Amino acid sequence: MKKDLLTLSNFNREEILLLLQKSVRLKEMRKNGIAHQPLKGKSLGMIFSKHSTRTRISFEVGMFELGGQALFLTSDQLQMTRGESVEDSAKVLSRYLNGLVVRTYDHEDLTSLARHASIPVINGLTDLSHPVQILSDIFTIQEKLGRIENVKVAYVGDGNNVAYSWILGASIMGMHLALACPKGYQPEQPDGMGSLGKVEVVEDPFAAVKDADVIYTDVWVSMGQESDSDTKIKKLQPYQINQKLVNAAKKDVLVMHCLPAHRGMEITAEVMDGPHSIVFDQAENRLHVQKAILETLLSPPEQ
């Protein structure tokens, strides 16, 4: 049975912990120049309908380093945008490829492709969620703090796809997550979240960052949502990650941003380039964690 990664709820806590362990090993091997090519001869299709720097390049390089190849395809190059059905496309692609990474708008487009594909499908970001980002961010937190238990993450800004995946990630891993988002821009609540972890949504960014180990933000205007941007940017001004907000958290708080960043908007240059910021280590870890995801899903252990 193939396994997809469409949202974080496709993985349980134990599976995520295994993935983090695998990521540590892969990062170490790469650092020591040890070749590890379990995906030799395998091909990963990558269908992107939106821009990308990190997701695209880290998946392409990751697949190459694992011994396989990645084929990058913008959606407008495929017959799917000329009317070939998702079902037929998924069946055909499954005959050639060993896995697919998809970045698209509507999450339903991803799930319907995955339903008809017999190969693993990985969400490379939809309007709803960004699971590979949050898996990688949890890895970065564990690497920097040595633990994920009892870590308080304050997500400050737009309640978007990244915020949604953070809610799932924190719930599954039992982390404390406080999201500060203005009214009207608060995140969707995943179904069946139950009482896992400690997740709270507040309006005051200073309340969210109190005692926080990590302050996290993302762009105020996500790809495809540009039409509402003026009103939204005005409402989000008090949610900027600046020195005053950083000073209200724990003394050694880590500042994270999934990137791309807009200095002067959701984060000041002072904070982004300052001593609390770990954004470039965070970006690097996308490579190591996604290699672990690829190895897990494209080369499952023999039954």
Q: What is the largest CA-CA distance in the chain?
A: 55
How many other CB atoms are there within 10 angstroms of residue 100's CB atom?
24
CA-closest candidate to residue 125, choices 288, 286, 295, 300: 286
E runs forming strands in the chain? 43-48, 69-74, 99-103, 121-123, 152-156, 176-180, 198-202, 214-217, 254-257
Residue 196 touches which of ligand NVA, ligand CP, none (Cβ within 5-8 Å per kind): none
Q: Which span sits near ligand CP by CB under 6 A: 50-58, 74-82, 230-238, 262-270? A: 50-58
Q: Tell me if 129 contacts ligand CP by CB under 6 A.
A: no
CA distances (Å), 204 to each of 120, 131, 175, 183, 247, in order? 40, 26, 20, 10, 15
Residues in the chain: 303
Cβ-contact 44, 294 below 8 angstroms: yes
Residue 278 beta carbon to ligand CP: minimum distance, rounded to whole angstroms: 14
Q: Tell me if 54 contacts ligand CP by CB under 6 A.
A: yes
Which of 4, 158, 258, 288 is catalytic? The answer is 258
Q: Tell me if 259 contacts ligand CP by CB under 6 A.
A: yes
Q: Which span sits near ligand CP by CB under 6 A: 92-100, 173-181, 199-207, 252-260? A: 252-260
Q: Tell me if 160 contacts ligand NVA by CB under 6 A.
A: yes
- How many residues sit close enough to ligand NVA to count as binding (CB under 6 A)? 9
User: Does the annotation mark 218 as catalytic?
Assistant: yes
**What is the side-by-side strand order in the sheet with 69-74?**
69-74, 43-48, 99-103, 121-123
Residue 239 beta carbon to ligand NVA: minimum distance, rounded to whole angstroms: 14
Give the distance from CA 252 to its chain's centroid.
Answer: 24
**Nearer to ligand CP (CB atom), residue 94 or residue 282:** 282
Q: Beta partners for 199?
A: 177
Cβ-contact 138, 20 below 8 angstroms: yes
Backbone dihedral angles phi then psi of residue 108, each to the nearest 5 degrees: -65, -30
**Nearer to ligand NVA (CB atom), residue 161 or residue 282:** 161
Which of 4, 109, 127, 133 is catalytic? The answer is 133
Which of 109, 158, 218, 257 is catalytic? The answer is 218
Instruction: Choose which of 49, 58, 136, 161 interacts with ligand NVA (CB under 6 A).
Output: 161
Task: For the chain, give percent helix, strand, coil, nearest 5.
Answer: 45, 15, 40
- How many residues sit close enough to ligand CP to count as binding (CB under 6 A)? 9
User: Does the annotation mark 258 as catalytic?
Assistant: yes
Residue 53 touches which of ligand NVA, ligand CP, none (Cβ within 5-8 Å per kind): ligand CP
Which of 130, 176, 257, 288 is catalytic? The answer is 130
Instruction: Choose which of 12, 21, 53, 81 interacts with ligand CP (CB under 6 A).
Output: 53
**Nearer to ligand NVA (CB atom), residue 195 or residue 227:** 227
Rg, Å, the chain Cα set: 19
User: Does the annotation mark 286 as catalytic?
Assistant: yes
CA-closest candidate to residue 175, choices 140, 127, 222, 218: 140
Contact string 247-266 vs ligand NVA (x = CB under 6 A): -----------x--------
User: Does the annotation mark 211 as catalytic?
Assistant: no
Binding site residues, ligand CP, CB under 6 A:
52-55, 125, 133, 258-260
The residues annotated as belonging to the active site are 103, 130, 133, 218, 258, 286
Binding site residues, ligand NVA, CB under 6 A:
125, 160-162, 218-219, 222-223, 258
